[in-house]
């Protein structure tokens, strides 16, 4: 019976580490991609093709000619990765905060991969839920401000 319980504990730890590794890889990929992208006046480009902006991916922009709550976030992340804080805020008010939260995940998840647990200060599941709820409220609130001021309808 003890062997079975020990096996379940080990299996849970392996599963948790795998989850932390997935978050680590995802967040690191977002940071690297942000660093590779370049914000240009005509859009976002990749190195080697500065005059050829990437096509937009926002369905709301394409179909409804209106920005969604996260429009500008990719460009804001790219600006942050290049140290252009003022531009990052101009592209999306919450972009720099989102970038820092993703960036913070890298050392936190690396720690969890190597130790098997998150640091005690961030281990509370309620904390993660509160942060997610706060971010969703902030995104929707920011979008409402953009709708009221007309900024959501400027798609250029």
Question: CA 52 to CA 45: how far, in whole Å?
Answer: 6
- The lowest-confidence range among 6-20, 59-73, 77-91 is 6-20
> What value does the mean pLDDT take over residues 26-41?
94
Nearest to 106 by CA among 50, 15, 35, 26: 26
pLDDT in tens, 14-33: 888 898 999 999 999 999 99
pLDDT greater at residue 5 or residue 136? 136
Neighbour-count burial of 105, counting CB atoms closer than 10 A to its CB (0-12 exposed, 13-18 middle, 19+ buried)? buried
Q: Are 69 and 141 in contact (CB under 8 A)?
A: no
Compare 109 and 60 and report the one with higher pLDDT.
109
Confidence check: pLDDT of 2 > 90: no
**pLDDT, the chain, mean:** 88
- pTM for the model stands at 0.85
Burial category of 10 from C-beta neighbours within 10 Å (exposed 0-12, middle 13-18, buried 19 and up):
exposed
120-137 pLDDT tens trace: 878 888 888 999 999 999
Domain assignments of the chain as residue spans, ordered by start: 2-153
Q: Is 116 helix (H, G, I), strand (E, B) or coil?
A: coil
Identify the residue with better confidence: 52 or 85.
Answer: 85
Statement: residue 50 has pLDDT above 90 = no
């Amino acid at each position: 019976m003890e062997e079975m319980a020990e096996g379940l504990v080990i299996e849970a730890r392996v599963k948790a580490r795998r989850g932390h590794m997935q978050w680590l890889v995802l967040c690191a990929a977002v940071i690297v991609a942000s660093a590779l992208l370049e914000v240009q006046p005509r859009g976002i480009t990749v190195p080697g093709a500065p005059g050829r902006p990437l096509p937009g991916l926002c369905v709301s922009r394409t179909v409804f000619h209106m920005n969604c709550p996260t429009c500008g976030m990719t460009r804001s992340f790219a600006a942050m990765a290049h140290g252009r804080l003022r531009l990052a805020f101009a592209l999306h008010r919450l972009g720099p905060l989102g970038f820092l939260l993703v960036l913070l995940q890298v050392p936190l998840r690396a720690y969890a991969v190597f130790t098997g647990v998150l640091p005690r200060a961030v281990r509370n599941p309620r904390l993660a839920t509160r942060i997610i709820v706060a971010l969703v409220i902030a995104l929707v609130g920011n979008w409402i401000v953009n709708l009221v001021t007309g900024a959501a309808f400027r798609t250029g």
